[in-house]
Amino acid sequence: MSKLLEVTDLRTHFFTRDGVVKAVDGVSFSLDYGQTLAIVGESGSGKSVTAMSIMGLIPDPPGKIVEGDILFKGDSMLAMEPAEVRKLRGDRIAMIFQDPMTSLNPVYRVGHQIGESLRIHRGMTKREAFDRAVELLDLVGIPNPRERAKDYPHQFSGGMRQRAMIAMALSCDPDILIADEPTTALDVTIQAQILELMIELQDRTGTAIIMITHDLGVVADMADDVMVMYAGKPVEFGTADEVFYKPLHPYTWGLLDSLPRHDVSEKGTLEPIQGQPPSLIRVPRGCSFHPRCPYARVKCVKEVPELVPVEGGHASGCHFSVDPSFRKGEAAVCREVV
Amino acid sequence: MFKYVIRRIIQMVPVFLGVTLILFILRAPGVLPGDPVRLITGEKAISETLYQEIVEKHGLDQPLHVQYVRYLKGLTEGDLGTSYQKSRPVSDILLDKFPNTMRLAAVAILLEIIIGIAAGIISAVKRYSLLDVLVTLSTSILVSVPVFWLGMLMQVVFGIWFKRWGIPYLPISGMSSSDFPDWVHLILPAITLASVSTAYVARIMRSQMLEVMGQDYIRTAHAKGLSERAVIRRHALKNALIPVVTFIGIDLGVMMSGAILTETVFNWPGVGLEIFLAIGTRDWPIVTGGVVIIVLLVMIINLLVDISYAFLDPRIRYGGPAQ
């Protein structure tokens, strides 16, 4: 049986006046029914563009999927007619976005917006869709759902709007839910509530989730697999335990070190990754992380590393990950290049 | 909502009084050229007794504030004064002409709304296409062309040259003639009157659509699986229309001044032409009476536009505390 979703060597480039932006440049992963994959990386690492490519929502021009394929239940989504992709979108594959304050249309009632997918994909009448929207609002924990469904988005708080977005995304019982930084714009207390809600709903509905975030803390409890992205490429792939406890790539080490942890308070300071993410028009030669990597050697400048399995399915895109002594906390800082 | 409307109507009173005061001062002796009595009687020599009679009849010997109160009192009774030249009540003269102006303005507004909004949407949806370039270019030209010049240009091209070349041509003057059905006479004046406004509406609509199409909720609508057409029609249009409605509301007042020029160029017997002719003959009661009517009209239209917001934009609710 084919996988629920399979992405192979996806390359999404944007052709701009300043040059070609290689926003996604060789991403592969697969997702099983009911599984949660977290895609982690800094801003501009290609996480969101990967998600938008799967949704078929890359603005063309300037964007284009130049290589690779996206298979949904074995069928290539890139080979489908736009109308067929549209039928999957919002029905089988749904998405929630980062900023719930602006992701709802201000001039329509919340219940109407939640019911809209049901009307297009399920052919429900206005009344049926509204009734179902009320049930969904109840499911995501909005009190007085029947009254609140008649409210406009500006009458909802940020956390409630994100709950409404989740209700909207789950309305057609999708196979895949793509969550693009769903908690980034929310208060910390609300963040935890929204994550709990997503975990709870996943248990109930069995939806597979692609969780996009720059916050490793967010994915720790949720993810089965984690893909770390840097400059449009995956640099590490493994189970959540592998990536958290036995990280292979120096970039992942940096991400983990820059995570605030309350259990190691005596250490006191956070270790940020030096430098800035590279321009995706002029990606550094060799390993794109080498200008910021404290372990960079001559080889890193000369050769582009491949993402290769190191232990079982745990893969790393670093030349030196195969060396068992090159591990977090053990590798000696020996920057050879300037 | 009801409270809001009442409050707005009460607010209209001082505005209206201010306008009438300015208009009244313009009519006062010595402000504008000409002795009112001489304007009434014309060039004929008249006797001193008749002169005094006219002064008394019109209250011209009273102090100014008394004259103003008398004028206001007249206004509340629908009395806009009497024309110097025609010796007819101004309200009767304007009532005769008003339907003609309304007919012209109504067609122009329809053109403005339909063509302006459609051109703006097409231009935004097909951004950088040939159509978009055409719309952007022609609207830039139209907003910078004076209305009366455009009117005369159209008269020359569609009236005179077309006739000369043997192509079906259009009437360029008046409201009716034996050669054409009445509605054909409307075509050129209505296009002229609508031109600048239509160009502005198209430009605002285009920029609003482009702005709205970049909003997050449009991405959400796409993610739901709506077709491009449905996204534009259901999600983008209503949001983009809000500022356009504001503009059209304000523009209705501007259109009234455009009507004076258009009616003059096309010899269209409306309020605008009447005001223009009255300025030439210094028939001040007609001028001020016409302006009073226009001011009232603009105030009422603005109120209606403000009320219509509440239906377009749910974030605006009048008359209650913020939620």
Q: Confirm or reject contact between B225 and chain A (CB < 8 A).
A: yes
Where do the DSSP E strands lie in A103-223? 176-180, 208-213
Q: B-chain residues within 8 Å CB-CB of A182?
A: none
Contact B194, B143 (CB under 8 A): no
pTM, 2 dp: 0.80
Which residue, among A159, A161, A240, A28, has the nearest Cα to B217 in the 3D structure? A161
Span A325-335, pLDDT tens digits: 888 777 777 77
What length is written for chain B?
323
Q: Which of B224, B226, B232, B317 to mutate to test the interface with A (most CBs of A within 10 A)?
A: B224
Span A50-84, pLDDT tens digits: 999 999 888 877 888 888 899 998 888 888 888 88
Query: How far lies B30's CA from each of A84, B27, B35, B274, B288, in Å?
Result: 79, 8, 8, 24, 16
Q: Confirm or reject contact between A57 and chain B (CB < 8 A).
A: yes
Contact B59, B70 (CB under 8 A): yes
| Number of other residues whose CB lies within 10 A of the CB of residue A42 | 17
The angle that helices A110-122 and A158-170 make with each other, rounded to 10 degrees, is 10
Cα-Cα-Cα-Cα dihedral sign, residues A77, A79, A82, A84: negative
Shortest CA gap A29–chain B (Å): 22
Q: Where are the alpha helices (DSSP H) in A24-109?
A: 47-55, 82-88
Span A1-13, pLDDT tens digits: 678 999 999 999 9
Query: How far lies A78's CA from each of A54, B18, B45, B267, B307, in Å?
Result: 9, 67, 94, 63, 48
Please, which residues 197-216 of chain B have a Cβ atom closer than 8 Å to chain A?
215-216
**pLDDT value at A337 more than 70:** no
Q: DSSP 3-state assignment of B208?
A: helix
Shortest CA gap B230–chain A (Å): 10
What is the predicted pLDDT for the residue at A274? 80
| Number of other residues whose CB lies within 10 A of the CB of residue A312 | 9
Q: Confirm or reject contact between B97 and chain A (CB < 8 A).
A: no
- Mean pLDDT of the B91-105 span: 90
Q: A-chain residues within 8 Å CB-CB of B309?
A: none
Least confident of A83-92, A104-113, A137-146, A210-219: A210-219
Q: Confirm or reject contact between B217 and chain A (CB < 8 A).
A: yes
Rounded Cα distance, A131 and A112, in Å: 10
CB burial readout B140-162, b (16+ within 10 A) else e: eebeeeebbebbeebbeebbeee
The residues with which B137 forms a beta bridge, in sequence order, are none
Q: B-chain residues within 8 Å CB-CB of A108?
A: 235
Which residue, among A210, A250, A206, has the nearest Cα to A226 in the 3D structure? A210
Query: Ramachandran region of residue A232, left (φ > 0), alpha (ψ -120 to 50) or beta?
Result: left
Supply B32's token pair.
């504008």
**pLDDT value at B322 more than 50:** no
Rounded Cα distance, A28 and B212, in Å: 34
**Predicted ipTM of the assembly:** 0.84
Rounded Cα distance, A71 and B303, in Å: 57
Span B244-298, pLDDT tens digits: 988 888 888 778 778 889 999 999 999 999 999 998 888 888 888 888 888 888 8
According to CATH, the topology of domain B97-312 is MetI-like fold (1.10.3720)
Please, which residues 151-190 of chain A have a Cβ atom closer than 8 Å to chain B?
152, 154-155, 165, 168
Cα-Cα-Cα-Cα dihedral sign, residues B113, B119, B121, B124: negative
Are residues B227 and A86, on separate chains, in Cβ contact within 8 Å?
yes
Supply B64's token pair.
């100014």
Higher-pLDDT residue of A7, A44: A7
